[in-house]
């Protein structure tokens, strides 16, 4: 199997500085509302993030066709942080201070998000973060439209345990914040469910890791004890390509040791020979294969905009779709792009998702989402094998970690706190900027 990075030439040519994209005709600076787009267009995460840049340009173009926002056209300002985590903070500062954007849509990895948090707090701007993450956070200036662990990781483990009879667990991830914290939560959850520590194997690899032979051999041996074994994968970026290739090389099939992945979607699978992966699983809140009128309309408009019928949709794209529409609705509700007014207006906003329901922004700055488990098909699409009966409220603080089980977040007055301790009755961090 070989991933064809068909956009690599484009990514290599991406400018290090900011690129201003105006959907439609050019508008004078004072006549537009600028929207920041902070996604890697080069480096190891470009395989996942470039599509999210394209998605934002598409959404802004669609909104401008409707007349823009508050009577003004929207203008995208795109920067390339190049999969360089400290550079994310520099580029965020550039977007806010130099380009005067009203809000920013961006980041993928948790380390990139954590890199920019102080910037958004200091400069009092708004970040919409569209990717599943580890939880254990609620910041006033951030709106989390991707899944929290209880909206992806824990339901996936429940599915494997209850439907597949899994007893041994390999928690395999890239060596950074999201996999480490997610696996800490999952290990605590599994132990609470009666799983012995010796039945949990944890492994971390660097970004871009390519030599998987020894690790996959270890997984194979770990799963040869007679107990049903599964891999829970938080491997991110282009390291997934050689990982799945090595699974196939060693003859590990889904019926033997199923892999459920949290960072592999339609975009990552688009360049793979997926035949050996058929039957392995993914857990998300949206699949391109979701059969609803809303999704069909979104896909048709996306393909027409991108002028490539082979381009796919995926979960983080839907998260940007939801977050962008929430921002538009909140700006119109507030009558201004002023961050303080928009932050207050966002809580309680509901917009259609692409699964046929509505997603709502909760007081903890997380949204409600359905949870889907999908089985990888030969064409790189997912067949939904399980889903929640309705939407699930994102839980910002895990119930399974001692340090966070008593914490809640509520950014409404009078609490205005992202880590309120229900046991002590005190806010553990700064309540305001």
145 exposure class (CB count in 10 Å sphere: 0-12, 13-18, 19+):
buried
Answer for the pair 146, 320: CB distance below 8 angstroms, yes or no: no
**Could you check whether 8-148+292-369 and 150-290+372-393 share the same CATH topology?**
yes
Report pLDDT for 30.
Answer: 56
Q: Which of 288, 276, 109 is nearest to 207 (CA)?
A: 109
From the DSSP assignment, how many helices (H) and strands (E) are in the chain? Answer: 12, 20
167 exposure class (CB count in 10 Å sphere: 0-12, 13-18, 19+):
middle
Strand partners, 366: 144
The superfamily CATH assigns to domain 8-148+292-369 is Response regulator (3.40.50.2300)
Secondary structure (DSSP) of 264-318: --HHHHTTS--GGGTT-EEEES--TT---HHHHHHHHHHHHHHT-TT----HHHH
Instruction: Report d(CA 106, CA 386) in Å as an integer.
Output: 29
pLDDT in tens, the chain (433 residues): 333 333 323 333 333 344 444 444 444 445 899 999 999 999 989 988 999 999 999 999 999 999 999 999 999 999 999 999 999 999 999 999 999 999 999 999 999 999 999 999 999 999 999 999 999 999 999 999 999 999 999 999 999 999 999 999 999 999 999 999 999 999 999 999 999 999 999 999 999 999 999 999 999 999 999 999 999 999 987 888 889 889 989 999 999 999 999 988 898 788 777 877 889 999 999 999 999 999 999 999 999 999 999 999 999 999 999 999 999 999 999 999 999 999 999 999 999 999 999 999 999 999 999 999 999 999 999 999 999 999 999 999 999 999 999 999 999 999 999 999 999 999 984 333 3
SS3 content of the chain, % helix, strand, coil (to 5): 35, 20, 40
Q: Where are the domains of the chain?
A: 8-148+292-369, 150-290+372-393
- Alpha helix (H) residue ranges in 166-207: 177-192
Q: At what angle do helices 339-346 and 315-334 cross, to 10 degrees?
A: 110
Report pLDDT for 268.
Answer: 79
Answer for the pair 261, 233: CB distance below 8 angstroms, yes or no: yes
- Size of the chain in residues: 433
Report pLDDT for 238.
Answer: 80
Instruction: Report d(CA 48, CA 243) in Å as an integer.
Output: 16
Report pLDDT for 358.
Answer: 97
Q: How many CB atoms lie within 10 A of CB 332?
A: 12
Instruction: Report d(CA 176, CA 191) in Å as an integer.
Output: 23
Answer for the pair 382, 368: CB distance below 8 angstroms, yes or no: no
Q: How far is CA 15 from the centre of its chain?
A: 24
CATH architecture, domain 150-290+372-393: 3-Layer(aba) Sandwich (3.40)
Reduced to 3 states (helix: H, G, I; strand: E, B; else coil), residue 155 is helix
411: its two tokens: 């950014």
Instruction: Report d(CA 98, CA 25) in Å as an integer.
Output: 22
Q: Which of 332, 330, 336, 335 is nearest to 360 (CA)?
A: 330
209: Cβ–Cβ under 8 A, 6 or more apart, which residues?
174, 239, 242, 243
**Residue environment code for 29-40, b if the CB has 16+ CB neighbours within 10 A, otherwise e:** eeebbbbbbbbb
Reduced to 3 states (helix: H, G, I; strand: E, B; else coil), residue 142 is strand
Answer for the pair 258, 194: CB distance below 8 angstroms, yes or no: no
């Amino acid at each position: 199997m070989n991933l064809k990075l068909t956009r690599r030439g484009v990514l290599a040519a991406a400018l290090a500085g900011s690129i201003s994209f105006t959907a439609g005709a050019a508008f004078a600076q004072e006549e537009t509302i600028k929207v920041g787009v902070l996604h890697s267009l080069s480096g190891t995460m470009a395989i996942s993030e470039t599509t999210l840049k394209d998605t934002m340009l598409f959404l802004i173009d669609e909104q401008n066709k409707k007349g823009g926002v508050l009577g003004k056209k929207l203008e995208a300002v795109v920067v390339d942080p190049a999969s360089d985590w400290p550079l994310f903070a520099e580029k965020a500062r550039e977007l806010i201070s130099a380009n005067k954007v009203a809000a920013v849509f961006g980041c993928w990895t948790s380390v990139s998000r954590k890199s920019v948090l102080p910037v958004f707090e200091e400069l009092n701007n708004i970040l919409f973060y569209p990717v599943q993450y580890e939880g254990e956070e609620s910041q006033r200036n951030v709106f989390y439209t991707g899944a929290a662990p209880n909206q992806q990781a824990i339901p996936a483990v429940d599915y494997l345990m209850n439907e597949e009879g899994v007893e041994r667990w390999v928690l395999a991830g890239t060596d950074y914040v999201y996999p480490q914290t997610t696996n800490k939560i999952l290990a605590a959850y599994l132990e609470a469910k009666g799983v012995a520590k010796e039945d949990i194997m944890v492994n971390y690899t660097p970004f871009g890791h390519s030599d998987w032979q020894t690790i996959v051999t270890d997984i194979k041996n770990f799963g040869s004890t007679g107990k049903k074994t599964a891999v829970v994968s938080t491997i991110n970026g282009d390291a997934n390509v050689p990982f799945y290739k090595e699974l196939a090389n060693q003859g590990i099939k889904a019926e033997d040791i199923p892999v459920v992945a949290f960072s592999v979607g339609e975009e990552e699978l688009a360049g793979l020979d997926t035949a050996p992966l058929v039957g392995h699983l993914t857990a998300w809140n949206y699949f391109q294969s979701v059969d609803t009128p809303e999704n069909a309309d979104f896909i048709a408009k996306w393909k027409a905009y991108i002028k490539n019928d082979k381009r796919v949709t995926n979960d983080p794209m839907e998260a940007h779709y939801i977050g962008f529409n929430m921002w538009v609705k909140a700006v119109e509700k507030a009558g201004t792009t002023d961050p303080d007014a928009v932050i207050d207006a966002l809580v309680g906003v509901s917009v259609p998702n692409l699964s046929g329901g509505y997603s709502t922004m909760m007081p903890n700055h997380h949204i409600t989402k359905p949870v889907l488990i999908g089985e990888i098909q030969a064409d790189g699409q997912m067949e939904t094998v399980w889903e929640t009966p309705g939407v699930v409220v994102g839980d910002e603080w895990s119930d399974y970690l001692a340090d966070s089980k008593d914490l809640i977040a509520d950014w409404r007055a009078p609490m205005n706190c992202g880590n309120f301790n229900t046991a002590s009755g005190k806010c553990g961090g700064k309540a305001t900027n």
